[in-house]
């Protein structure tokens, strides 16, 4: 062996990484950048959560926990799922994970066989297809229509479900578009998946960040025996750095995830788990205030884009992103994102980070503070004025 690539597995050598992180790293190397590329709440974790974690650490809660997670936290998660989201699960159907990313990985590793298919409505979060492939499965992308604002086309998704399908992944509210898929469409997809003995993997990490209507969980709309719920403290609780999430579903799948996890990460941070328990069982007002702030920033971002030429956003019903059509500008979405970064110092995410269906779009995050958001739009306005 003479070259580095020959020492790598085919899996490692074929992995290109996320364009989200490409923009993140490029922005890191530039001074005076307005960061709108990452879904990172600008809020600090509320004080009562931090204090609970600190007290736990001082009290000696610095040791391994069960691979499933702390009993009290699993019970609190199950109670939250039943009460807030209508998901019929108890503590035995919950495993605490290192963020939603590990929850998704454990779900797929537990139900996807090599060569089996996983159906992904697209544009979709970049990790879905990558994790399907790491599990040995084959992503089956179903492009959603921009004319319908990328709403869920149940018929198109159902058409791609077959006896080779292991799972269908639905994110609601969605990343990158912010759409909250219609309940009847989600129910139809869940029923079709169950008919083929395939799981609905419901990515719920943005479920607290819903601005219109109810917060009914996608995981509540299917047969509980064929639904896996992926969730996280990161977005709705401003706890990205704590790396804490959960997977909920049938006990046999959770038990399988438990065994697989012993070979990967063993357990989540004990201190972080105490923080999560405080987040779920303590005062909820700080989290509700965050949602109100995001709602205001969404309105501001939509007002600003309405005044700008060449930018046409999908009106988001949840999450904290604007998915903006910029196809009238010269070049690919990556070209536009790079020019915006280099010429005006604004970092956004090219739509192709979310699959080919995202070409011609940019994703802008309004999770940042109001001042930064305003500065970003001022620079975007300057960028467009020169076109």
* Radius of gyration of the chain measured on its C-alpha atoms: 21
Q: Assign 3 a pLDDT band (cuts: 50, 70, 90).
A: low
Whether residues 171 and 229 share a domain: the answer is yes
pLDDT tens-digit series, residues 171-203: 999 999 999 999 999 999 999 999 999 999 999
What's the pLDDT tens digit per position in 254-291? 999 999 999 999 999 999 999 999 999 999 999 999 99
Residues 14 and 105 in one domain: no
- Summarize pLDDT for 22-34 with one digit per residue, the tens: 887 887 778 899 9
Q: Is the pLDDT of residue 21 over 90?
A: no
Same-domain check for residues 254 and 273? yes
In this structure, the answer to whether residues 206 and 230 fall within a common structural domain is yes
Band (20; pLDDT cuts 50, 70, 90): confident
* Tokens (6 digits) for 256: 């399988």
- Tokens linked to 207: 């479920």
pLDDT digits (tens, 9 = 90+) for 35-72: 999 899 999 999 999 999 999 999 999 999 999 999 99
Looking at the structure, tell me whether residues 11 and 130 fall in a common domain.
Answer: no
Instruction: State pLDDT tens for residues 239-257.
Output: 999 999 999 999 999 999 9
At which of 281, 297, 325 does a domain end?
Answer: 281
Angle 96-100-101 from CA coordinates, rounded to 5°: 115
The reported pLDDT for the residue numbered 267 is 98
Q: Is the dihedral of CA 91, 96, 99, 102 positive or negative?
A: negative
Report whether 115 contacts 166 (CB < 8 A): no
Whether the link from the prior residue into 307 is cis, omega within 30° of 0, is no
- Residue 10: the pLDDT is 81
Domain boundary among 281, 311, 345: 281
- According to the model, what pLDDT value does residue 27 have? 79
d(CA 123, CA 321): 13
297 exposed, middle or buried (CB, 10 Å; 0-12, 13-18, 19+)? buried
Residues 115 and 171 in one domain: yes
Give the range of the structural domain holding residue 69, as residue numbers without chain letter.
Answer: 47-281
Instruction: Please tell me whether residue 206 adopts helix, strand or coil conformation.
Output: coil
Do 155 and 14 share a structural domain?
no
Q: Among the three residues 241, 259, 281, which one is the final residue of a domain in this structure?
A: 281
Residues 55 and 153 reside in one and the same domain:
yes
Q: pLDDT-based confidence at 1, cuts 50/70/90? A: very low
With 80 as the cut, is the pLDDT of residue 213 above it? no
Q: Domain of 325: which CATH number?
A: 3.90.1150.10
- Confirm if 175 and 204 have CB atoms less than 8 A apart: no
Q: Are 159 and 240 contained in the same domain?
A: yes
Within this chain, do residues 334 and 249 fall inside the same structural domain, yes or no? no
Least confident of 4-18, 121-135, 148-162: 4-18
Question: 136 and 223: one domain?
Answer: yes
Question: Tens of pLDDT along 89-133?
Answer: 999 999 999 999 999 999 999 999 999 999 999 999 989 999 999
Indicate whether 260 and 204 sit together in one domain. Answer: yes
In this structure, what CATH number is given to the domain that contains residue 269? 3.40.640.10
State the pLDDT confidence band at 214, using cuts at 50, 70 and 90: low
- Report pLDDT digits (tens) over 307-330: 999 999 999 999 999 999 999 999
Please give the tally of structural domains in the chain: 2
Query: How far apart are alpha carbons 351 and 124 in whole angstroms?
Result: 10
């Amino acid at each position: 062996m003479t070259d580095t690539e020959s020492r790598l597995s085919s899996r490692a050598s074929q992995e290109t990484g996320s364009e989200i992180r490409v923009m993140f790293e490029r922005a890191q190397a530039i001074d005076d950048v307005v960061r709108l590329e990452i879904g990172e709440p600008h809020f600090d974790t509320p004080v009562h959560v931090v204090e609970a974690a600190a007290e736990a650490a001082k009290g000696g809660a610095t040791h391994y926990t069960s691979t499933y997670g702390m009993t009290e936290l699993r019970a609190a998660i199950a109670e939250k799922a039943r009460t807030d989201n209508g998901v019929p699960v108890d503590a035995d159907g919950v495993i605490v994970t290192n963020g939603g990313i590990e929850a998704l990985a454990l779900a797929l590793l537990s139900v996807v066989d090599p060569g089996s298919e996983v159906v992904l409505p697209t544009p979709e979060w970049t990790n879905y297809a990558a994790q399907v492939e790491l599990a040995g499965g084959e992503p089956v992308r179903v492009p959603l229509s921009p004319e319908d604002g990328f709403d869920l086309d149940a018929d198109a998704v159902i058409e791609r479900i077959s006896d080779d399908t292991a799972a269908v992944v639905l994110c609601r509210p969605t990343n990158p578009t912010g759409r909250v898929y219609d309940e009847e469409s989600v129910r139809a997809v869940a029923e079709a998946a169950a008919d083929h003995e395939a799981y609905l993997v419901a990515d719920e990490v943005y479920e607290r960040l819903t601005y219109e209507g109810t917060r009914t969980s996608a995981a509540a709309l299917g047969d509980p025996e064929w639904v896996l719920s992926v969730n996280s403290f990161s977005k709705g609780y401003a706890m990205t750095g704590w790396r804490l999430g959960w997977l909920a579903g049938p006990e046999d799948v959770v038990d399988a995830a438990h065994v697989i996890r012993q070979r990967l990460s063993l357990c989540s941070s004990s201190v972080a788990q105490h923080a999560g328990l405080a987040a779920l069982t303590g005062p909820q007002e700080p989290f509700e205030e965050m949602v109100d702030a995001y709602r205001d920033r969404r309105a501001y971002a939509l007002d600003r884009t309405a005044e700008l030429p060449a930018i046409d956003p999908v009106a988001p019903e949840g999450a904290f992103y604007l998915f903006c059509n910029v196809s009238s500008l010269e070049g690919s979405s990556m070209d536009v994102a790079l020019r915006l970064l280099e010429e005006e110092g604004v970092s956004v995410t090219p739509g192709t980070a979310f699959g080919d269906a995202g070409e011609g779009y940019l994703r802008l995050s309004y999770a940042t503070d109001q001042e930064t958001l305003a500065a970003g739009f001022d620079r975007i306005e300057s960028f467009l004025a020169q076109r």
